């Protein structure tokens, strides 16, 4: 059974940094892409970043490009999201999800999320 | 910038049929965008319903179906149940540079 468990959320001041983690199990971590999706309070879902299985190439949404960095540690089966220069509009629930590439680029398993609040 | 459109809200009677759509402000949604659909109830993570345009996720009742209608992806619920009342999101894969875009979501009321 695929399990994804996010951690690292919390309250941070504007301009600050935070690193989210997503511990994965139940699948071959090194060969599957993973993604981060966020949801601001009362708002819809927003894709944030993706990292590929295999070579670990990555991409980020324009709204976070240059501030956030997705990465992974294959030895720990853990996905990360380093968030720098945080803004109030980054306040959201952050979900990690596994990408079923051969199923049609789909986010086929999700974690339960971790809350990030950016406020002074 | 690509914007994915969804109806903000929809209402259906119990046992009725409803079709939610997922479009683009410029262009058409085709199977090449790999549209998928998610349910979300308050306080919960999204749950995959339909992927790769047509395929139901494991455990999803067969009253849910996906299709392309005209220039949009569509999610149809045939015989809506009270437990289908929640938010529905579509997402499309843009392909270039590995980008995905979610629609704004549709709040479905079964009443």
* Cβ-based contacts of B4 with chain A (< 8 Å): none
Q: Distance (Å, rounded) from C-alpha B18 to C-alpha B79?
A: 8
Q: Distance (Å, rounded) from C-alpha A25 to C-alpha A39?
A: 24
Q: Which residue in B has a C-alpha nearest to residue A42's C-alpha?
A: B42
Q: What one-character-per-residue DSSP string does A36-63 give?
A: EEEE-TTS-EEEEEEE-SSS--EEE-TT
Q: Distance (Å, rounded) from C-alpha B19 to C-alpha B54?
A: 14
> B34, A104: Cβ pair inside 8 Å?
yes
- State pLDDT tens for residues A56-111: 999 999 999 999 999 999 999 999 999 999 999 999 999 999 998 888 889 999 99
Q: Distance (Å, rounded) from C-alpha B92 to C-alpha B33?
A: 5
- State pLDDT tens for residues B48-65: 999 999 999 999 999 999
The confidence band for A118, taking pLDDT boundaries of 50, 70 and 90, is very high
Residue of B25, B37, B11 lying closest to B107 (CA atoms): B11
> A106, B51: Cβ pair inside 8 Å?
yes
* Rounded mean pLDDT, B31-55: 97
Encoded tokens for A96: 């990690």
């Amino acid at each position: 059974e695929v399990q994804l468990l996010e951690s690292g959320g919390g309250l941070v001041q504007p301009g600050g940094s935070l690193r989210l983690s997503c511990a994965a199990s139940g699948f071959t971590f090194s060969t599957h892409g993973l993604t981060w999706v966020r949801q601001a309070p009362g708002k819809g879902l927003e894709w944030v970043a993706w990292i590929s299985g295999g070579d670990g190439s990555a991409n980020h949404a324009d709204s976070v490009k240059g501030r956030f960095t997705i990465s992974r540690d294959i030895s720990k089966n853990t996905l990360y999201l380093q968030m720098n220069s945080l803004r109030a509009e980054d306040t959201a629930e952050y979900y990690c999800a596994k990408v079923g590439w051969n199923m049609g680029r789909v986010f086929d398993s999700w974690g339960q999320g971790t809350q990030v609040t950016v406020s002074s | 910038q690509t914007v994915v459109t969804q109806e903000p809200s929809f209402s259906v009677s119990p046992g009725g049929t409803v079709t939610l759509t997922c479009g683009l402000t410029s262009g058409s949604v085709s199977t090449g965008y790999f549209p998928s659909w998610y349910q979300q109830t308050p306080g919960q993570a999204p749950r995959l319903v339909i992927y790769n345009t047509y395929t139901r996720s494991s455990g999803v009742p067969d009253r849910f179906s996906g299709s392309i209608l005209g220039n949009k992806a569509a999610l149809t619920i045939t015989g809506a149940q009270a437990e289908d009342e929640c938010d529905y999101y579509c997402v499309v894969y843009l392909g270039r540079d590995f980008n995905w875009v979610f629609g704004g979501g549709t709040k479905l009321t079964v009443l």
